[in-house]
A and B are shown apart, each in its own frame.
Chain A
Amino acid sequence: MSLGATSTNAASNKSIPGQQVGEDWLYRAQRALTTPMPYLGIAGIAMFILFWYLTTEYFKLPRFVKLPGPVEVWTEFTNPDPIYGTSMYTFDYYKHIAWSSLRVMLAFALATGLGVPLGLYMGWKKKFKDYVFPIIEVLRPIPVLAWVPLAILMMPGREAPIIFLAFLAAFFATTLNAMLGVESIDESYFRASQCLGSTPWNVFKRVVVPGALPDIFTGLQIGVGVAWFSLVAAEMVSGEHGLGFLIWDSYVLSQYPVIVIAMVTLGLVGYVYSLLIRIVGRSLMRWTQKGQA
């Protein structure tokens, strides 16, 4: 900025973002297609599938020969009358997806609803953190699988233990990231809001929450990932529906292609979940992208 240019500078800047709103997303997608980025990704996936094909179906290497190859899996998946009973044409396939999704949503909603406020409060009030943080730090490293027996003993029915296990893993991620988010807020923002006459509730609403938002969303991303992760473990141990159950059941029944179908489905569904969270996060944090622009 120079001495003479102040007002013109401000005026000309103003017209830029107005034009881009709405077209922004499309424009960026179009731009991305002119760079090597998307093609490299596709090439990477293609190479992975080629490797899979060569080892299992073409060369039939010793340790790979029992694994289902990509052709076998794809044939089974697109078969209206599947050999092992699960394909994109069967109701069962979608039922398993729905069960797992529903469980993850519940567990994730609980982990968000309890973990984020708890973490925010811990980050904001040092005394409260001093009470709570040590317990969390001791409980956190315990692997979710170690909780399985207690979860079954504590929780009624079949569903509650599974949801509890998925919740538990996500809960630590959402809580600790929210806490770190508040702790990362520069002290001068708190001081400034005090100078401007804020009540504590106002500080919470207008400094603590928005200031921690980027880290909260990092926590939600990690949280939804580990929720899926521990859900599948829980479904393998105790469950009668869901993708984790499907994997284990297919293993027991030696229906190997179904295992891979369920695994790839897990990967895709998990990706969609974290994509949704990222989209919500972006729309709530316009200011961070604008800052970078």
Chain B
Amino acid sequence: MTMNNNGPIEGRISIKNVSKIYDPDGAKVLAVDDCSLEIQPGEFCVIVGPSGCGKTTLLNAVAGFHSISSGSIELDGRAICTASHTEPPSAERIVVFQNGALFPWLSVLDNITFGPEAQGKMTRGEAVSRARELLAELGLAPIAERYPGEISSGMKRRVEIARALINDPKVLLLDEPFRAMDALTKGVVQEFLLRVLDKMRKSVLFITHDLEEALFLGDRVVVMTTRPAQVKKTIMVDFPRPRTYRVRSSQRYLELKEQVFEAVHEEARKAFEAGEREMA
């Protein structure tokens, strides 16, 4: 697979007035309330917000895992999720999961060829040679024959990102993918993701709790309110790409961090207090 710098022309996600009501035991819970957000082709959009605020609900709706109650989600102008219709998941919007979902029974190589083979886009031979190219390009060639249980968590995440990219998706959906990692590993994998996207730009919807991560990775940071989720504040992150970890010590970074922190902290406090009331 050759990676080039041509900006993508596809991959625009339009989330329009989306609401989602959960109704598990008769008590209707509004998880997302009239949320609107537009992600430009090739934009890296990070969503931050307090725990349980409905970020994942929104991402799962974009992925096609569940329906929404009202509003619509469009991909390049085509409605993929509305109240009446949910297009099933497909390889044009690939999710990288919070706890990782590499198939433990397949080697790294077979995990990567899974997509092209499953879709019947390539023969086994073609898929293997393309996967090897991609692994070499991403510096993962030495672990091609190993099983996920044998490699570190940082390696697993990189492989999972590669497994998504070989399908050339229009959109990457990452749901707190680096959550359970120690700080050093996290830094390495974040840089890996940036480097890969510099070569191969994609629209990205990235969910996290980690504000530093949000600023380091994103073109735009969207702060959500506590449940029901709405867009509280949007912060444009204007550091030039390619970025390195040096960004983190700049004055501008501190200013932006201050802004994001203030917005998130307010919502986190509200969520906390709401939690306390529920407990009493």
Contacts and interface: CB of A to CB of B under 8 A. Distances in A.
Interface of A: 1-3, 6-7, 9-11, 13-14, 17, 186, 188-189, 191-199, 202, 206-207, 210-211, 213, 285-288, 290-293
B104 A291 contact: yes
Contact of B90 (A192, A197, A206): A197
Given A196-B115, A291-B149, A206 B103 contact: yes
Contact of A199 (B95, B101, B118, B147): B118
Interface in B141-187: 142-143, 145-155, 163-164, 167, 184-185, 187
B52 interface: no
Given A3-B188, A191-B95, A196-B118, 6 more contacts: A6-B139, A193-B118, A196-B91, A196-B94, A196-B167, A198-B114
Nearest to B100: A188
Contacts of B139: 6-7
B103 A291 contact: no
Interface of B: 63-65, 88-91, 93-95, 97, 99, 101, 103-106, 114-115, 118-119, 139-140, 142-143, 145-155, 163-164, 167, 184-185, 187-188
Contacts, number: 116
Nearest to A18: B145
Nearest to B103: A189
Contacts of B185: 1
B103 A210 contact: yes
Nearest to A11: B142
B167 to A, nearest CB: 7
B188 A196 contact: no
Nearest to A286: B147
Contacts of A3: 184, 187-188
A17 B148 CA distance: 14
A1 B148 CA distance: 15
A285 B106 CA distance: 10
20 contacts: A6-B155, A10-B155, A13-B146, A13-B151, A14-B142, A14-B146, A191-B63, A191-B65, A191-B89, A192-B97, A192-B101, A193-B103, A195-B164, A196-B91, A206-B106, A210-B106, A211-B105, A287-B105, A288-B104, A290-B147
A191 B154 contact: no
A195 B188 contact: no
Contacts of A195: 63, 89-91, 93-95, 164
Nearest to B121: A197
Identify the 4 closest CB pairs spanning chains A and B, nearest first: A291-B149, A197-B119, A196-B115, A210-B105
Nearest to A2: B184
Nearest to A284: B105
A234 to B, nearest CB: 37
A287 B149 contact: yes
Contacts of A199: 118
Contacts of B65: 191
Contacts of B103: 189, 192-193, 206-207, 210
A286 B146 CA distance: 11
A116 to B, nearest CB: 17
A13 B63 CA distance: 36
A78 B153 CA distance: 59
A1 B151 CA distance: 10
Contacts of B97: 188, 191-192
Contact of A290 (B89, B119, B150): B150
A14 B163 CA distance: 21
Interface-central residue, A202, A285, A287, by most chain B CB under 10 Å: A287
A72 B227 CA distance: 79
Contacts of A9: 152
A197 B142 contact: no
A26 B186 CA distance: 40
A198 to B, nearest CB: 4
